[in-house]
A and B are shown apart, each in its own frame.
Chain A
Amino acid sequence: MTSALSIQGLRKAFGRLEVLRGIDLEVAEHEVIALIGASGSGKSTLLRCINLIEPVDEGRIVVEGTEITAKGVNVDRVRRSIGIVFQSFNLFPQMRVLDNVTLAPRKVLGRRRAEAEAAAMALLERFGLEDKAHDYPDRLSGGQQQRVAIVRALAMQPDLLLLDEVTSALDPELVAEVLNVIRELAAGGMTMLIATHEMGFARDIANRVCFLDQGVILEQGPPDVIFRAPAQSRTRQFLERIIEAGRL
């Protein structure tokens, strides 16, 4: 079994604050991993490190057999094959939806405009966004913006997709449309690492759930095990708080 992603001994500190203190994680091809943990436990930091948006202090990250943390690696080239979608969408406000989606294929991969736009339209259609192609992002609802952000990442045909609480900034009634997109991607075999507070969704979609606590992955396993019978008391406490908050 080849690993899509392999992380060994990853450490990251902001000044004196040690956020990641030795993360080890193996992700297989087509696997969907849910990353759960308290606010501030380092979920976003981990995802940003995998994309090399945050420089890593220590440890190795290997994507599809290539160590991306090695010296002299072209980070722009690495990022092409790893998509990331943020909580706050981060669409480019001065560009229409179609240009948001085609910018990277055209400028990074050197695709011709017509070719890039045809591919972008196909993706937009697949996620019910074709009639928004020529709108500016601020004309779209939050749910639509987040779906465009996912399409923009998919347009680079990434090997690995990182999703960082992509529904946290959305109104409850807009959450479902975004989750459905992710379900479809999972069904299509996309390898994904999903940081989320939506425990029900995590249980539904993930092959494996990782509980992040104090800078390490304290516990991991199939959703049924983690949510029904966690081995660690800290995992239990975390899940109890979530249940109290009515989110499971």
Chain B
Amino acid sequence: MSGLQGRGDGRPARRPRGGDASAFRSTLIALASTVVFFGALAWIVVSSPGWPAIQRSFLNGKVFAASLPSIVGSFAVNVQLFLIAEVLILGLGMVIAVLRSLPGPVFFPVRLVTTIYVDVFRALPGVLVIYILGFGIPGLGIAGVPIEPFFYAVVALTLIYSAYVSEVYRAGIESIHPSQDAAARSLGLSRFQSLRYVILPQAVRRVVPPLLNDFIGLQKDTVLVSYIGVVEIFRQSYIKQAGSFNYTPYLATALVFLVMTIPLARLTDWLIAREVRRRQGGAALALAGTQGRGVASAPTRGAR
């Protein structure tokens, strides 16, 4: 029995020996089945009739080496686009979310306009928005209106993603129990002060993981602006492909995105897992204090 109990220092007891052996065996099985599966898949691909042609046009080492520097170089445009748009999106999304949660009949027009905005930009395919803004507005020929495609790329991505991000913020705001607002208002804080100092800090902390998810999407969607003539990574790989009659540059582009995006995805997952752990930990503590009666305090804890 004692093998199953804690050792008194808070750590769980070590598993009995049989556990180590069975863990080793399941690792072996996982390894073997992985090798068999991917081996079979590779064999099917490599032995297919079209493989030699595909290998030549997609996996050309020389073309890869020649195109990679300019592809990585033009990725700087995507990064720039992404960074500028991201800052604007975080701001605009927040403003939309706050406007949409204003209560009372006075603010009905505000809620109506912001709701329509969010609905429209979530309904439209991103490419269409980029096309319409990027070709339409400069086409009007109004004096003083910029004509650079990069400008419209930033505007279009900001408008599209702010609609999504405002919904994420709003979900966060609504997840904060109304008793927090009541407590703040009862101390004499105004509606805005309660939002600013009490509600939003808690809401934003909760929605960091879904926000990061949206930014992974944004990072990838920066290639869409190639359609209005911004020479970014995707446009550059098209240029390289057209020049070499070889598709390897697209593979290089894919590689760049994998290297950029996978770490961000991992970080997001880690943050979500941490948030879940923290909430469970906090809830357990709150329960310990109140024996599960009453509402107890909100479960999350501030970042240090």
Interface, chain A (partner B; CB < 8 A): 48, 51, 53, 76-77, 79-80, 82-84, 86-96, 103-104, 107-108, 136-142, 145, 152-153, 156, 168-171, 174
Cβ-closest chain A residue relative to B286: A138
Judged by a CB distance under 8 angstroms, whether B219 is at the interface is no
Query: Is A79 touching B285 in the complex (CB atoms < 8 A)?
Result: no
Query: Is B289 touching A156 in the complex (CB atoms < 8 A)?
Result: no
Judged by a CB distance under 8 angstroms, whether B188 is at the interface is yes
A-B contact pairs, 10 of them (CB 8 A): A51-B186, A53-B186, A77-B188, A86-B183, A89-B296, A90-B179, A94-B201, A107-B189, A136-B302, A153-B187
Query: Is A53 touching B185 in the complex (CB atoms < 8 A)?
Result: yes
Bound: A91/B300 CA distance, A:
12
Judged by a CB distance under 8 angstroms, whether B56 is at the interface is no
Judged by a CB distance under 8 angstroms, whether B109 is at the interface is no
Bound: A147/B290 CA distance, A:
14
Query: Is B180 touching A108 in the complex (CB atoms < 8 A)?
Result: no
Residues of A close to B297: CB separation below 8 A:
88-91, 93, 137-138, 145
Task: Give the residue of A48, A79, A93, A170 whose beta carbon is less than 8 angstroms from that of B187.
Answer: A79
Query: Is A93 touching B186 in the complex (CB atoms < 8 A)?
Result: no
Interface, chain B (partner A; CB < 8 A): 179-180, 182-190, 193, 197-198, 201-202, 205, 282, 285-286, 289-291, 293-302
Task: Give the residue of A90, A138, A139, A152 whose beta carbon is less than 8 angstroms from that of B299.
Answer: A138
Residues of A close to B202: CB separation below 8 A:
92-94
Q: What is the count of residue pairs linking A and B with beta-carbon distances less than 8 angstroms?
A: 109
Residues of A close to B301: CB separation below 8 A:
93-94, 136, 138
Residues of A close to B285: CB separation below 8 A:
138-139
CB of B212 to closest CB in A, whole Å = 20
Query: Is B298 touching A93 in the complex (CB atoms < 8 A)?
Result: yes
Task: Give the residue of B185, B197, B290, B302 whose beta carbon is less than 8 angstroms from that of A93.
Answer: B302
Residues of A close to B286: CB separation below 8 A:
138
Known: A86-B182, A136-B301, A142-B289. 13 other contacts (CB 8 A): A79-B186, A90-B179, A90-B180, A90-B297, A93-B300, A94-B300, A138-B285, A138-B299, A153-B186, A168-B294, A169-B293, A169-B295, A171-B289
Query: Is B190 touching A94 in the complex (CB atoms < 8 A)?
Result: no
Cβ-closest chain A residue relative to B196: A107
Query: Is A168 touching B293 in the complex (CB atoms < 8 A)?
Result: yes
Cβ-closest chain A residue relative to B281: A138
Query: Is A90 touching B187 in the complex (CB atoms < 8 A)?
Result: no
Bound: A80/B189 CA distance, A:
8
Bound: A156/B201 CA distance, A:
23
Bound: A90/B178 CA distance, A:
10
